[in-house]
């Protein structure tokens, strides 16, 4: 075997980066693996716009069938994103005997189980390193380097856009809306940023990480998801005063025989490594029984760092083909000690609470009375300077409480005529 032919579907930012690496480091890679990687065909709906890498016109097509049905193409790289037509294209590629590399976290989170089963049936593989953390080698580490370990928890800062916004709010004292505008101006956030700021992108990645760690595919609708749009500059400031940073965390945690799966803004101690992960960087903090606690850190977005992970998957597949190996993605072992998914209602945590109340006698008594009736105890309470005329922020830290009880208490509190804005509650994790 002297040459492997590649077909690329999706010639956007990351796709261009993949071609750039394969072109500029062609000899370097050939010397390393002993095989030439040849780009046989590139498919994209836009074949006229110039990219930052020169490409011969005859390599370009708008018809993906030219790649999928070409018997000389060994590996299909899918980088178009989204569910359709990516699902159909990858399925057909597998049926035609091709291995697949993808960065499509949304597709794998929702249809990964069926695609991995199809790949297994056809004796082919799907590699997906770039789907989580861009160039951070977390997928390979979980699948291979930590194969002997059992996992206790995953805490991930998995979305660069949200982390950039929260970092700006924390370091430059700007509002959420101003930070979002800056993220959009720099190209870190889409015009419609909802997938990022509402936690959906992080949830897609969490589903994949949980599968790698616990061997279970959790449906996206079973993951509790809460975004960062309700986090104010005041909350970031008050969190600082209490010794915390606010981060959008994706959490998979084993508690006894139950697994928690959740994405939400979280107060974490400033002393923890995750609190110092800023800008568009990502980090995954994994707790395992043999290797202990490990932190994987790096840029969570960017053309070349994501393309680096795609190329690494291509090289791994080539090495497998060369050696005649078949390492199916479905060989992930299930943690049989996990019996059920824990409902968010049963989740317990400490909480940061910010209430906007009238500045009058008896306010704290009414609030604490409702909390006490639902078995919720207050660890600390601080009344801040007046926010508006006759309205003061009250910041509380709540001892461990069940989510259901806290939600019921806040519902009753927000109905009081002394409360003038919807109360903000943010979970606290000691990690």
Residue numbers annotated as active site: 205
Can you spell out the DSSP letters for 323-384?
A: HT----GGGPPP-TT--EEPPGGG-EEEEEEEEEEESSTTHHHHHHHHHHHTT--EEEEEE-
What one-character DSSP code corresponds to residue 257? T
HEC readout, 103-145 = CCHHHHHHHHHHHHHHHHHHCCCEECHHHCCCCCCHHHHHHHH
Tokens encoding 385: 């300077």
Strands of the 3-9 sheet, one edge to the other: 60-61, 36-43, 3-9, 75-78, 99-102, 126-127
**Residue 15 contacts residue 50 (beta carbons within 8 Å):** no
Q: For strand 126-127 and strand 99-102, is the pairing parallel, antiparallel, or unpaired?
A: parallel
Kindly list the distances between the CA atom of residue 419 and the CA atoms of 122, 358, 424, in Å, as whole numbers in the listed order: 61, 7, 12
**Residue 217 contacts residue 207 (beta carbons within 8 Å):** yes
Q: How many residues does the chain have?
A: 431
Measured between alpha carbons, how far is 397 from 401 in angstroms, rounded to an integer? 11
φ, ψ (nearest 5 deg) of residue 265: -60, 140
Who's near 24: CB < 8 A, 6+ residues apart? none
What one-character DSSP code corresponds to residue 279? T
Measured between alpha carbons, how far is 337 from 16 in angstroms, rounded to an integer? 44
CA torsion through residues 321, 325, 326, 331, sign: negative
HEC readout, 137-178 = CHHHHHHHHCCCCCEEEEEEECCHHHHHHHHHHHHHCCCHHH
φ, ψ (nearest 5 deg) of residue 352: -95, 130
């Amino acid at each position: 075997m002297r040459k492997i032919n590649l077909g690329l579907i999706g010639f956007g930012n990351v796709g261009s980066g993949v071609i750039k690496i394969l072109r500029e480091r062609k000899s370097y890679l050939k010397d390393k693996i002993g095989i030439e990687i040849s780009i046989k065909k590139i498919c994209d709906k836009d074949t006229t716009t110039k990219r930052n890498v020169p490409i011969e016109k005859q390599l370009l097509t708008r018809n993906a069938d030219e790649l999928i049905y070409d018997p000389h193409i060994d590996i299909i790289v899918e980088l178009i994103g989204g569910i359709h037509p990516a699902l159909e294209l990858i399925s057909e590629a597998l049926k035609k005997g091709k291995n697949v590399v993808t960065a499509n976290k949304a597709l794998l989170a929702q249809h990964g189980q069926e695609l991995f089963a199809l790949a297994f049936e056809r004796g082919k593989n799907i590699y997906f390193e770039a789907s989580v953390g861009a160039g951070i080698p977390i997928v390979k580490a979980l699948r291979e380097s930590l194969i002997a370990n059992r996992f206790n928890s995953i805490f991930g800062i998995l979305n660069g856009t949200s982390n950039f916004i929260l970092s700006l709010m924390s370091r430059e004292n700007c509002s959420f809306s101003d930070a979002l505008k800056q993220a959009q101006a720099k190209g870190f956030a889409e015009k419609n940023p909802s997938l990022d700021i509402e936690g959906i992108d992080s949830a897609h990645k969490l589903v994949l990480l949980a599968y790698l760690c616990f061997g279970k595919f959790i449906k996206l609708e079973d993951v509790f998801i809460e975004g960062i749009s309700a986090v104010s500059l005041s909350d970031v400031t008050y969190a600082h005063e209490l010794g915390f940073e606010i981060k959008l965390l994706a959490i998979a945690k084993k508690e006894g025989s139950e697994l928690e799966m959740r994405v939400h803004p979280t107060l974490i101690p400033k002393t923890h490594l995750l609190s110092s992960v800023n800008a568009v960087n990502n980090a995954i903090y994994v707790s395992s029984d043999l290797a202990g606690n490990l932190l994987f850190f790096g840029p969570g977005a960017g053309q070349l760092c994501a393309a680096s992970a795609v190329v690494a998957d291509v090289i791994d597949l080539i090495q497998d083909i060369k050696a005649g190996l078949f390492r199916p993605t479905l060989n992930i072992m299930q943690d049989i000690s996990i019996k059920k998914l824990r409902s968010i209602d049963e989740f317990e945590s400490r909480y940061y609470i910010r209430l906007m109340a009238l500045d009058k006698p008896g306010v704290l008594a009414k609030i604490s009375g409702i909390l006490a009736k639902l078995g919720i105890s207050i660890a600390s309470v601080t009344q801040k300077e007046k926010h508006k005329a006759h309205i003061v922020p009250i910041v509380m830290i709540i001892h461990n409480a069940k989510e259901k009880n806290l939600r019921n208490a806040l519902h009753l509190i927000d109905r009081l005529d002394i409360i003038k804005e919807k109360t903000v509650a943010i979970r606290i994790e000691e990690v």
